[in-house]
Amino acid sequence: MQAHDHTASGSPHDWWEARYAERDGIWSGRVNAVLASVAGGLRPGRALDLGCGEGGDVVWLAEQGWEASGIDLSATAVERATRAAHAAGVAERTAFVAEDLATWSPTGSFDLVTASFLQSWPVAIPRAEILRRATGFVAPGGHLLVTAHAAPPHGDLPEELRSYRFPTPAEDLDAMELGDGWEVVAAELRPRTATTPEGTAHETVDSVVVVRRR
Ligand SMILES: C[S@@+](CC[C@H](N)C(=O)[O-])C[C@H]1O[C@@H](n2cnc3c(N)ncnc32)[C@H](O)[C@@H]1O
């Protein structure tokens, strides 16, 4: 996510719609590196991407042979994701829905549930609750991967956003409230070099949690 100068107001839905309306293509369209490394080691099956944005991760998963679905609050983002899947020739292996993960539940379960940077500032979302509910979407033997910004992705946040608390791997793991039927595959910080919108390199760090339902 890129730092910006909005002030907090309204619902997460309205805030994200307004953000996507600012311009076409607010993300790179490329797969997130953590997802590529985790999913690259799994046998393709059914995947679900939480907060899919413009669909870069879903399109990549479909290209690897997954039946991949994406959910996002923003209808504009979902429309762009659908277009991206058509452009990549994987539309028949993808599905996108504009829904709120605070309340939405899928029919059926998934071999991989992934969330890349499902974070919202300055308008907060019930993220812990969403992660806990997401465990219920995972099929036996399936994985849940949560990648989050654990530090500002592009340098300092603007003053009005400095109260945002970045999640740690332990906090995201706690939020999942896993019972005995789960194995923790990874819960760690991973350093990463990000490129700012101005094109300069910036060192940041991601929180990566991978759990597997037995
Ligand atoms: C930082 S963006 C990340 C987008 C994408 N995963 C990526 O890595 O490029 C966070 C996304 O989560 C979505 N989002 C935030 N809260 C949500 C909610 N409650 N339900 C569904 N999507 C949500 C936003 O609309 C936004 O597209």
- pTM equals 0.94
> What spacing in Å lies between the alpha carbon of 118 and ligand 1's midpoint?
5
Q: Is 121 in the pocket of ligand 1 (CB under 6 A)?
A: no
DSSP H helices in the chain: 12-22, 33-39, 56-63, 75-87, 127-135, 169-176
Q: What is the mean pLDDT of residues 109-134?
A: 96
Is the dihedral angle over the CA atoms 60, 49, 121, 194 positive or is it negative? negative
Which segment of 30-44, 60-74, 153-167 scores lowest on mean pLDDT? 153-167
Half-sphere exposure in the Cβ direction for 181 (13 Å, CA): 10
pLDDT reading at 2 higher than 60: no
> What spacing in Å lies between the alpha carbon of 191 and ligand 1's midpoint?
22
Q: Which has the higher per-residue pLDDT, 84 or 156?
A: 84
Binning the chain into helix, strand and coil, the percentages to the nearest 5 are: 30, 30, 40
